Structure 1
Amino acid sequence: MPGSCPAFVFACFKRVERFGDRLTGAAGPFFVAAAALLFVAGTLCFLDVILPTIPWPWLSVGPCMLIIINLFAHYYFVCTVSPGFAGDSPQRVGNGFIWAKKRRTHGRFLTNGVYWSSHMNVTPASTTKCPKCGETKPERTHHCRVCNRCVVKYDHHCPVRINQCVGLYNERHFVLFMAYVTLATFCFVVLGWSHLFVALGFEFNDTWEHRVSPILFTIIYLLCIVMCLAIATMLAWQLWSVAIGETAVESYDHEYYRKIATSRGETFQNSYDLGKLRNLQLFFNVGIDGYPIYTLFLPFRVPPYTNGRSWARRPGLERHHGVHVGEELTDEEDN
């Protein structure tokens, strides 16, 4: 009887949480449409008000347009590219013009699109069965409550911006999208501050001679300030997670593993952490045996270095050091 009250409260919270998941999932398309509308309005304000007044247009117009194209392209990719579900076949690299061309390499392909070279220690992923959907899933795969499916290298579900999970196949586009949103809003704020004073009526000698209304420009300008600060913070955290070789979900798991290892006098080592520079190269699939560095600045599709059925690991490690068999957290902990 004493334990029935906490159990009832916990069950109530879980019901509220599941209702919130369904609500955000249903409202996701409206969030995506609102975000797209905001990007379009901001672009129109920039093209109509700010761009014609930028000095040295022969030098500045090109980079500005490239930022805009990258922003929309990566937003489109992150919304339309499947994150990679455990039950689906691995995605194949396309041959269209949107796909980047891989440089000449000295390694070789293993089965199912996993690339191996002397620069990487690639080992097959262990598999388990999901207690929620019954799918056989490789390691680094987690069950999404909103999608009700297992996502390979699941990071998080994002209903506000993309209305789907961020996983193996679209996480690169997600990070680049945040980078270009941060860059675009920063440029808008820095280059548009003088126009803000005119829009607010503080410059009495100047008149507002633009198609965009001054009210809309002011609203977009203020939103750019907020978005720049917020998304820059998220981007910094996301890049740090990439640099240390973990996802958002794994960051919580690894903290738990560190406590277990410390209690035994051991040290936890993340087997996916190959060093910050190498982790970033593998994530963006550039550098040694990857794609050219210009793919970070042009809106090409670039596949991950693996399909999630094998992973590059620290030399000498086949699994995390400091975590014994059977101690790994699973999605069953969420029940």
Structure 2
Amino acid sequence: MYRSGAVMAWNVFKFCTALRGLGSIMILLVLGVVGVTYYAVVLTNYGPALTEGGLESVTALVVLILFHCLLVMLLWSYFSVVFTDPGGVPPNWRPAVDEERGDADPLTGPEYGAVGADPANTGIRYCRKCNQLKPPRCHHCSVCGRCVLKMDHHCVWVVNCVGALNYKYFLLFLFYTLLETTLVTLSLLPHFIAFFSDEEIPGTPGTLATTFLAFVLNLAFALSVMGFSIMHISSVAANTTTIEAYEKKTTPKWRYDLGRKRNFEQVFGMDKGYWFIPAYSEEDLRRMPALQGLEYPSKPELDAQEF
């Protein structure tokens, strides 16, 4: 029995290691979808329509402006997720001890070194794989091979972990992807319908095939991203990550749920001017420790409660 469990664990980690090799392949796949879409929308259909005059030119201009604006924000958000470190545990990190409240050294507490502790418990956890202490809401990623602050999940599409420092960028990537793919789907729908009609359609077989492919791809992405967006909206509203959403099923009260407004601000910051761009203001980074991934405010009544 033990040998069977060991083989299963080895296979899981072998799979995790294989995911690291996807790397640039996934990025190239994303850029490939963007390229096909750009060719179908701009070069094949709406770009040439600008010279036709009348309502068609106005419609084409509106579609192209919206398309390029959303594309810029989509790519900005995407590469922000790809290239932003989700947050790692600082070397020799040690939790603060509040001497005024009479807190004992957490390293001598019963939770030190515990595995599978209650996620609502404020006791200090220890990662046996990294051989280091784990801050609150921190989890070990087997793909990255390290502990990630406020880890949500490892995303193969961005070839990175989604954690404390890039979760906002990931949500914006979903948001702009949903808007962009919906716009492309609606703008190419008449051409897609015409593809199956008896009327003669201008264009070469290659351009018609590209338009057909772009419509199908964007429709599929729009539907799938919509589902992910709904899931993550509920996570932000409850101040949980994907991992914590499963863990807290056994927890009657979630200590980090501070209300929808404050929960939203812990991801997007308090500066409204930065809510829709993949960046934080210096003021937010200074006054909101939660954005750094190491400290999180919680409900006072649960802070005093012993688990």
Q: Which has the higher helix share?
A: 2
Q: Do the aligned partners of 1:87 and 1:135 also contact (CA within 8 Å) in 2? A: no
Q: 2:140 aligns with which of 123, 134, 143?
A: 143
Point out which structure has higher relative CO (alpha carbons under 8 A, 6+ apart): 1
> Given the alignment, which residue of 262, 268, 271 partners 1:291?
271
User: Which secondary structure state, in structure 2, belongs to the residue aligned with residue 87 of structure 1?
Assistant: coil
Query: Which position in structure 2 is the counterpart of 1:254?
Result: 248
Given candidates 129, 132, 135, the residue that maps to 1:132 is: 129
In the alignment, the residues of structure 2 paired with residue 60 and residue 181 of structure 1 have an alpha-carbon distance, to the nearest angstrom, of: 16
State the alpha-carbon separation in 1 of the partners of residues 25 and 43 from structure 2: 27
Of 225, 241, 257 in structure 2, the residue corresponding to residue 273 of structure 1 is: 257
Equivalent in 27, 30, 47 of residue 25 of structure 2: 30
Identity value in percent: 21
What RMSD over aligned residues (CA atoms) do the two structures have, in Å?
Answer: 2.6
Q: Which residue is equivalent to 1:188?
A: 184
**Partner Cα distance (2:5, 2:19) in 1:** 21
SS at match of 1:184: helix
Residues 34 and 194 of structure 1: CA distance in aligned 2, closer, same or farther (over 3 Å): same
The match for 1:108 is none
* CA offsets 1:302-333 (integer angstroms, 9 cap, x no match): 266421221122243327x6x72xxxxxxxxx
1:73 aligns with 2:76: yes
Structure 2 residue aligned with 1:85 = 88
Aligned to 2:100: none
Q: What's the counterpart of residue 262 of structure 1?
A: none
Structure 2 residue runs of 5 or longer lacking an equivalent are 50-55, 94-121
Separation in 2, partners of 1:61, 1:216: 18
| Separation in 1, partners of 2:10, 2:237 | 36
Q: Distance in 2 between matches of 1:50 and 1:296?
A: 33
TM-score where L is the length of structure 2 = 0.77
SS at match of 1:313: coil
Report the alpha carbon displacement of residue 8 of structure 1 after superposing the two structures with TM: 3.1
Structure 1 residues 203 and 181: alpha-carbon distance in aligned structure 2, compared to 1, 3 A threshold: farther
1:281 Cα deviation after fit: 2.7
Matched AA of 2:78: Y
Question: Aligned pair in 2 of structure 1 residues 296, 48: CA closer, same or farther (>3 Å)?
Answer: farther
Note the C-alpha offset of 1:179.
1.1
The amino acid that maps onto 2:257 is D
1:12 matches 2:7? yes
Classify the secondary structure of the residue corresponding to 2:139.
Answer: strand
Whether the 8 Å CA contact 2:42–2:64 is kept in 1: the answer is: no
Q: After superposition, give the CA deviation of every residue in 1:122-144 in whole Å (9 maximum; x if it has no partner).
A: xxx86433111112321111111
Q: How many residues align?
A: 264
Cα distance 1:133–1:300, how it changes in 2: closer, same or farther (>3 A)? closer
The residue matched to 1:143 in structure 2 has which SS? strand
Provide structure 1 residue ranges, at least 5 long, that are not aligned to the other structure.
Answer: 91-124, 259-267, 325-335
In the alignment, the residues of structure 1 paired with residue 25 and residue 6 of structure 2 have an alpha-carbon distance, to the nearest angstrom, of 30
Give the distance between the partners of 2:197 and 2:259, measured in 1 at CA: 52
The aligned runs of 1:92-171 (5 Å cut-off) are 127-159=124-156, 161-171=157-167
* TM-score for the superposition, normalised by structure 1: 0.71
> How far does residue 231 in structure 1 lie from its aligned partner after superposition?
1.2
| Alignment correspondent of 1:312 | 297
Q: 1:31-46, aligned counterparts within 5 Å?
A: 31-46=26-41
